[in-house]
């Protein structure tokens, strides 16, 4: 049946040439944009809300997206959720904004702090998302301290957070305790890190070293890491499922929630020990924001409040294997999760102000030295 | 005249103008799906805030990071004396010495000739070309023996193996990386086998990541070399060999003087394609080798991620110039090769193991050794993926496949379902075949026998191979998905299934052209001329005279077209975004998340579905060969 539709559309398009692909520019695409935020456009409990996010929110193993859809549509029967996950992620929307092309999505789920800096570097201060009015959200004050994401334009609210840490095999190496430990002969040729150009945990680990050694000292530290044989692979999945799981090396930059997976897969936990360097983990909070040109911002607010509810926080945390964004009393997690997800004694993050205008150069300088042929 | 008369004349009119119409259709597809998106990106390289400038090129060409030692030459192109001095100084500093090195782990000392050079900074382009050159050599070394075995011996399963040679082509990089780690890694298959005899474990990938990357490139490209060469080998005119033999040439002599010249264009096609592909390699080098093996394409991807389109476009233009330059040089060679008229009467194949005595002869033993090597390079990584899909940390399990089943039965509309992914892949693959084969043949016909002008057009027609997938994807996104503003408030947008098939066809037709052109160019032009003088239209002559004679090339090209479509990722994922026209490789990537099992299961499905289709395509196509 589908196949016939396909063949039909193919012939149709051949006959009509590309004429069918011509359309009038939609002049009023930013329709209600001018209206005051005091009067949020749209109906807060009905209509269609299109959420943009990344692949694993909707397509991975046991993702959060389908649960959110069912629960939200059950709570608000007149509302419909739609999801989209463009390949280039947030860049897709930055480009749409630059080209003033039509924006189908209302809300973005999964923006982190460096995304905000990137948006502003590309589009100017406070671009792409609306400034949020936290007073409209009943549950906004449940968000834990330290997860405010530091955006001067208050465009995003955290909905979960992960911590970058080291994962190591205790049968091969001892627990590293400081960054300097990693330069020790005991950890020679032991560590796998990821390319900060292409990988989120890779970039987070790089930023963590910048936090530790400053922008004047981090390159020197990395030279020393190179000396001690750090291995930098492309992405978290390549390096984890390849080099680490094939026992190529005993230590990898990964997430502090690693044991949640490892125990679910029946793996030996001795290969999945968590090390927090300097007693820290690098926090990577994920935020949600409403697009400036959203067609139904009122419903987007309703959804954000829903995401911060007890049940939603627990489901997102467990399915995404990240920590909830709200304080402990507002969420009930499975005992299993509590047992295997480790929270660092201290969380560090390089803030928006520092990232703005610097991030690209930091990563570029770092990558050029690693790739200096 | 009656209406019936009009109608009767339509087919005749169509037949007379078939070639023109096909050429126009090809032109339109290329214009919209290739030249427009590529132009959209390339224009960025010379635009800075609305005005044209070459500053981005100057920046790249004078940066030692990109071009290494050549940066000084580009910075001061007229300072010839200084550059020559530097070159002489470098040559003088070279020293050659003989040292003794021990093979790691075995303790056997061997003499080693070491050449000490003061070192040249290769830069990103230099390193990219270096690893591409090595990868090409490795692919030839692995691919040509396979072509020899497949073309000269008859053995059980030969046709199936021949069909499956194209399989590696369709695998997403992540699967290949996981397969290679599972094979060559410290806890991998090879070390397990060595462990049985008390050796190892050896960290092969750690020892020399470049070598493993090159083997992985050979995994992708040696089958391509083999396939192109086998197609040519099977159309070698056996009579010319017999003539040479009857005139007293030895078997070896006949091979070098008669067979090999007919194979050269195919071998060089394979080498050229391999070089271009590995020049533009991206996921494999990073996954196995890491940032220290970064290539130009890695940097293009990074620049795109950082929204620095100007540098990305500049690097892409330079990359394309190199690829197109190579293609042009090759095409000049190819067109100089014509003149050997050949009928497609394939040489007879000898049984591989007729008797035990023959099986122990040196030549057969060499074949067996090659077979073992091929098993290690090709079969182990694939088998590792399959094994990975049915195991988890605690043993054998089918739960990764149950994930696929559950997703199919209970998945929501916005999720990626396995069955539509399989169906889309197959439908797009067939549609691509239907569109790309005529396109490729039309371009072949238009460009053969037209001399140098034809060579230039032919080189330009190879543009899809020379432009990186990432850049093409950006062009499609900015040009066609976002749409281009036209005068009068109109906007041109091309998305959806039609666009996906067109993009696949654009990526695939050069393979048809490259497998058909050498054969077409070698046909005796007198055959076409006599058909034409007897009243056949140009199309008729093509259909009835030329095509049957180049059928082996068309079938080889068609199989490539299908494979390209199945394996295509970067433009599919962009054009399929937000629709239900995702394919199997897209599904593999989307299932990855933070567990590899479901992605490996989907990858295994991809492997089996495509393997089955290739066998079918080859069997069906085989009927038209001969």
First and final CA of chain B: distance in angstroms?
A: 46
pLDDT at B144: 95
Tell which phi-psi region holds residue A141, choosing left (phi > 0), alpha (psi between -120 and 50) or beta: alpha
Contact B486 A232 (CB under 8 A): no
Contact A88 B594 (CB under 8 A): no
Number of residues that this document lists for chain A:
373
Segment among B68-72, B134-138, B183-187 with least mean pLDDT: B68-72
| Higher-scoring residue by pLDDT: B502, B346 | B502
Q: Measured between CA atoms, how close is A155 to chain B, in angstroms?
A: 21
User: What are B96-129's pLDDT values in tens digits?
Assistant: 777 776 666 566 666 666 666 666 778 999 999 9
Is the pLDDT confidence value at B495 over 70?
Answer: yes
Q: Which residues of A touch B302 (CB under 8 A)?
A: 197-198, 364, 367
Residue A243 contacts B where some CB pair is shorter than 8 Å = yes
pLDDT band at B4 (very low <50, low <70, confident <90, very high): low
Sign of the four-CA dihedral A116, A117, A121, A125: positive
pLDDT at A38: 57
Q: Measured between CA atoms, how close is A5 to chain B, in angstroms?
A: 10
Local confidence pLDDT in tens for the 373 residues of chain A:
333 333 333 333 333 333 335 665 544 444 444 444 557 888 899 999 999 999 989 998 889 999 999 999 999 999 999 999 998 899 999 999 988 888 889 999 999 999 999 999 999 999 999 999 989 999 999 999 888 888 999 999 999 999 999 999 999 999 999 999 999 999 999 999 999 999 999 999 999 999 999 999 999 999 999 999 999 999 999 899 989 998 889 999 999 999 998 998 888 999 999 999 999 999 999 999 999 999 999 999 999 999 999 999 999 999 999 999 999 999 999 999 999 999 999 999 999 999 999 999 999 999 999 987 7
pLDDT band at B256 (very low <50, low <70, confident <90, very high): confident
Selected residues 228-267 of chain B with any CB under 8 Å from a CB in chain A: none
User: What are B266-294's pLDDT values in tens digits?
Assistant: 899 899 999 999 999 888 888 898 898 99
Contact A248 B598 (CB under 8 A): no
Residue B67 contacts A where some CB pair is shorter than 8 Å = no
- Nearest beta carbon to residue B490 from set A3, A22, A370: A22
Segment among A292-296, B170-174, B216-220 with least mean pLDDT: B170-174
Structural contact between residues B358 and B364, judged by C-beta atoms closer than 8 angstroms: yes
pLDDT > 90 in chain A, percent: 75
Q: Pick from A315, A316, A49: which is nearest to A158 by CA?
A: A316
Instruction: Tell me how far apart the alpha carbons of residues B289 and B291 are, in angstroms, rounded to a whole number.
Output: 7
Could you tell me whether strands A157-168 and A280-290 are parallel, antiparallel, or unpaired per DSSP bridges?
antiparallel
Selected residues 116-155 of chain A with any CB under 8 Å from a CB in chain B: 118, 121-122
Residue B286 contacts A where some CB pair is shorter than 8 Å = yes
User: What are B372-416's pLDDT values in tens digits?
Assistant: 999 999 999 999 999 999 998 788 999 999 999 999 999 988 999
- Nearest beta carbon to residue B174 from set A23, A238, A360: A238
Structural contact between residues B557 and B481, judged by C-beta atoms closer than 8 angstroms: no
Instruction: Tell me how far apart the alpha carbons of residues B394 and B597 are, in angstroms, rounded to a whole number.
Output: 13
pLDDT > 90 in chain B, percent: 37
* Greatest CA separation for chain B: 93
In angstroms, the Cα distances linking B597 to A200, A266, B397, B601, B602 are 21, 13, 10, 6, 9
- Nearest beta carbon to residue B291 from set A65, A195, A245: A195
Contact B286 A63 (CB under 8 A): no
Q: Which residues of B touch A25 (CB under 8 A)?
A: 485, 489-491
Contact A58 B415 (CB under 8 A): yes
Q: Which residues of A touch B416 (CB under 8 A)?
A: 59
Give strand pairing partners of A347.
A281
pLDDT at B347: 66
pLDDT at A9: 37
Structural contact between residues B317 and B262, judged by C-beta atoms closer than 8 angstroms: no
Contact B498 A10 (CB under 8 A): yes
Rg of chain A, C-alpha, whole Å: 22
- In this structure, which long-range contacts are made by residues A170-179, counting pairs with CB atoms below 8 Å and at least 24 apart in sequence? A170/A270, A170/A271, A170/A273, A171/A270, A171/A271, A172/A250, A173/A250, A173/A251, A175/A273, A175/A275, A176/A251, A176/A275, A176/A277, A177/A275, A177/A277, A177/A278, A178/A277, A178/A278, A179/A209, A179/A212, A179/A213, A179/A221, A179/A277, A179/A278
Q: How many helices (H) and strands (E) does chain A have?
A: 13, 12
Q: Which residues of A touch B478 (CB under 8 A)?
A: 95, 99
pLDDT at B520: 83
Segment among A61-70, B42-51, B178-187, B616-625 with least mean pLDDT: B616-625
What DSSP letter does each residue of A51-98 carry, written as one string? EE--HHHHSSSS-HHHHHHHHHHHHSTTEEEEEE--TTTHHHHHHHHH
What's the CA angle centered on B376, arms B605 and B371, to 5 degrees?
105
Helix axes B451-461, B496-522, angle to 10 degrees: 150
Question: Three-state SS across B502-516?
Answer: HHHHHHHHHHHHHHH
| Higher-scoring residue by pLDDT: A300, B496 | A300
Q: Which residues of A touch B178 (CB under 8 A)?
A: 238, 241-242
In angstroms, the Cα distances linking B262 to A166, B233, B272, B334, B337 are 58, 8, 17, 11, 9
Cβ partners under 8 Å of residue B249, min gap 6: B257, B258
Q: Pick from B624, B622, B551, B626: which is nearest to B158 by CA?
A: B622
User: What are B448-473's pLDDT values in tens digits?
Assistant: 766 667 788 888 888 898 888 888 88
Instruction: Tell me how far apart the alpha carbons of residues A31 and A69 are, in angstroms, rounded to a whole number.
Output: 27
Question: Three-state SS across B561-612?
Answer: HHHHHHHCCHHHHHHCCCCCCCCHHHHHHHHHCCCCHHHHHHHHHHHHHHHH
Could you tell me whether strands A157-168 and A323-324 are parallel, antiparallel, or unpaired per DSSP bridges?
antiparallel
Q: Pick from A254, A211, A255, A218: which is nearest to A349 by CA?
A: A211
Count A/B contacts: CB-CB distance under 8 Å.
Answer: 223
Is the pLDDT confidence value at B430 over 90?
Answer: yes
Question: For residue B166, what are its two tokens?
Answer: 């194209």
Place of tokens 């954000």: A304
Q: Which residues of B touch A225 (CB under 8 A)?
A: none
pLDDT at B187: 85
Residue B287 contacts A where some CB pair is shorter than 8 Å = yes
**Torsion angle (degrees, nearest 10) of CA A173, A174, A175, A181:** -90
């Amino acid at each position: 049946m589908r196949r016939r539709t396909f063949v039909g559309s193919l012939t149709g398009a051949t006959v009509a040439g590309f004429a069918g692909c011509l359309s009038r520019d939609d002049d009023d695409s930013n329709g209600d944009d001018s209206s005051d935020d005091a009067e949020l456009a749209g109906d807060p409990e009905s209509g269609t809300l299109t959420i943009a996010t990344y692949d694993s929110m909707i397509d991975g193993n046991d993702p959060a997206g389908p649960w959110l859809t069912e629960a939200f549509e059950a709570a608000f029967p007149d509302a419909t959720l739609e999801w989209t996950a463009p390949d280039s992620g947030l860049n897709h929307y930055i480009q749409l904004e630059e080209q003033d092309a039509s924006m189908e999505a209302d809300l973005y789920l999964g923006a982190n702090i460096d995304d905000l800096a990137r948006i502003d570097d590309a589009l100017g201060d406070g671009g792409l998302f609306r400034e949020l009015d936290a007073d409209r959200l009943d549950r906004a004050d449940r968000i834990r301290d330290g997860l405010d994401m530091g955006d001067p334009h208050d465009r995003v609210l955290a909905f979960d957070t992960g911590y970058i840490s080291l994962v190591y095999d205790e049968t091969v190496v001892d627990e590293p305790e400081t960054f300097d430990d990693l330069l020790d002969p005991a950890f020679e040729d032991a560590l796998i890190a990821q390319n900060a150009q292409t990988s989120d945990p890779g970039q987070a680990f790089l930023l963590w070293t910048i936090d530790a050694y400053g922008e004047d000292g981090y390159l020197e530290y990395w030279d020393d890491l190179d000396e001690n044989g750090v291995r930098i692979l492309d992405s978290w999945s390549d390096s984890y499922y390849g080099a680490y799981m094939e026992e190529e090396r005993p230590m990898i930059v990964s997430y502090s929630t690693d044991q949640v997976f490892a125990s679910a897969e029946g793996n030996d936990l001795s290969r999945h020990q968590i090390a927090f360097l300097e007693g820290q983990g690098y926090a990577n909070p994920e935020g949600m924001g409403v697009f400036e040109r959203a067609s139904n911002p009122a419903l987007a607010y309703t959804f954000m409040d829903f995401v911060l509810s007890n049940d939603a926080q627990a489901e997102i945390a467990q399915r995404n294997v990240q920590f909830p964004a709200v304080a402990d009393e507002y969420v009930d997690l499975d005992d299993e999760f509590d047992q295997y997800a480790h929270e660092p004694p201290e969380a560090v993050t390089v803030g928006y102000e520092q990232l703005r205008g610097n991030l690209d150069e930091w990563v570029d300088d770092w990558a050029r030295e690693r790739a200096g042929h | 005249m009656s209406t019936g008369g009009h109608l009767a004349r339509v087919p005749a009119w169509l037949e007379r103008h078939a070639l023109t119409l096909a050429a126009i259709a090809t032109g339109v597809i290329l214009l919209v799906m290739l030249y427009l998106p590529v132009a959209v990106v390339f224009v960025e390289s010379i635009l800075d805030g609305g005005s044209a400038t070459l500053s981005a090129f100057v920046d790249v060409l004078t940066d030692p990071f990109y071009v290494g030692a050549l940066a000084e030459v580009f910075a001061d192109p007229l300072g010839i004396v200084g550059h020559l001095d530097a070159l002489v100084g470098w040559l003088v500093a070279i020293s050659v010495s003989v040292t003794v090195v021990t093979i790691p782990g075995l303790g056997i000392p061997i003499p080693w000739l070491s050449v000490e050079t003061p070192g040249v900074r290769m830069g990103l382009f230099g390193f990219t070309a270096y690893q591409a050159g090595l990868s090409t050599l490795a692919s030839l070394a692995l691919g040509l023996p396979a072509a020899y075995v497949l073309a000269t011996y008859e053995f059980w399963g030969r046709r199936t193996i021949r069909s499956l040679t194209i399989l590696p082509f369709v695998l997403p990089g992540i699967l290949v990386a996981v397969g290679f780690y599972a094979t060559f890694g410290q806890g991998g298959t090879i070390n397990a086998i060595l462990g049985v005899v008390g050796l190892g474990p050896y960290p092969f990938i750690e020892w020399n990541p470049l070598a493993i990357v090159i083997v992985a490139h050979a995994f992708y490209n040696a089958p391509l070399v083999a396939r192109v060469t086998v197609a040519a080998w099977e159309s070698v005119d056996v009579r010319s060999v017999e003539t040479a033999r009857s005139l007293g040439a030895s078997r070896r002599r006949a091979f070098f003087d008669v067979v090999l010249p007919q194979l050269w264009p195919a071998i060089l096609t394979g080498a050229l394609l391999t070089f271009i592909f590995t020049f533009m390699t991206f996921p494999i080098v990073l996954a196995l080798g890491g940032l220290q093996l970064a290539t130009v394409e890695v940097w293009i991807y990074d620049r795109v991620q950082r929204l620095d389109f100007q540098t990305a476009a500049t690097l892409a233009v330079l990359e394309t110039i190199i690829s197109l330059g190579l293609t042009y040089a090759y095409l000049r060679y190819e067109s100089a090769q014509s003149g050997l008229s050949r009928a497609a009467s394939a040489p007879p194949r000898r049984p591989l193991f007729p008797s035990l005595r023959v099986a122990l002869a040196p030549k057969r033993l060499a074949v067996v050794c090659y077979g073992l090597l091929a098993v290690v390079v090709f079969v182990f990584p694939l088998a590792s993926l399959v094994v990975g899909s049915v195991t988890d940390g605690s043993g054998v399990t089918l739960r990764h496949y149950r994930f696929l089943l559950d997703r199919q039965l209970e998945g929501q509309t916005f999720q990626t379902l396995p069955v539509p992914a399989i169906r889309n892949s197959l439908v797009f693959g067939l549609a691509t075949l239907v569109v790309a084969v005529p396109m490729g043949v039309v371009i072949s016909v238009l460009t053969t026998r037209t001399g140098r002008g034809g060579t230039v057009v032919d080189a330009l027609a190879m543009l899809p191979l020379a432009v990186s997938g990432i850049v093409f994807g950006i062009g499609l996104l900015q040009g066609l998905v976002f749409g281009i503003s036209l005068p009068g408030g109109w906007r041109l947008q091309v998305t959806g299934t039609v666009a996906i098939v067109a993009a696949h066809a654009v990526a695939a037709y050069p393979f048809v052209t490259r497998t058909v052109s050498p054969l077409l160019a070698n046909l005796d032009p007198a055959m076409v001329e006599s058909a034409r003088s007897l009243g056949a239209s140009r199309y008729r002559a093509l259909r009835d005279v030329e095509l049957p004679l180049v059928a082996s090339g068309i079938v080889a090209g068609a199989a490539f077209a299908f494979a390209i479509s199945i394996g295509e990722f970067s433009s599919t994922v962009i054009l399929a975004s937000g629709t239900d026209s995702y394919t199997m490789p897209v599904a593999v990537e989307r299932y990855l998340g933070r567990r590899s099992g479901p992605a490996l299961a989907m990858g295994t499905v991809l492997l089996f579905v495509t393997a089955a289709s290739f066998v079918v395509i080859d069997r069906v196509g085989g009927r038209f060969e001969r």
